[in-house]
Amino acid sequence: MLILIFSALPAILLFFKVPSFAFGEGVWWILRWKNETTGSGISFNLYILICLAMAIGLLGLLWRSRH
């Protein structure tokens, strides 16, 4: 799913001429989009995404064991 987002999102963002942005701040950023005259690109902070996925998985396991 992440590969699909990684490949389709830049085309969509370029098509709609979305300005540069970032989700998160400092070291806690999750996604950055750069759309400037020098180029464009998207990058994901895999460390934060993996930690987030592990936390959601752990919560899912704890929820399942309770019910």
Band of pLDDT at residue 7, cut at 50, 70 and 90: confident
State how far the alpha carbon of 5 is from the alpha carbons of 8, 23, 42, 64, in Å.
5, 15, 10, 29
How would you class 39 by CB atoms within 10 Å of its CB: exposed for 0-12, middle for 13-18, buried for 19 or more?
A: exposed
pTM: 0.66
| Tens-digit pLDDT profile for residues 10-63 | 888 889 999 999 999 988 999 899 998 888 888 889 999 999 999 999 999 999
SS3 of residue 10 by DSSP: helix
DSSP β-ladder status, 21-23 and 39-44? unpaired
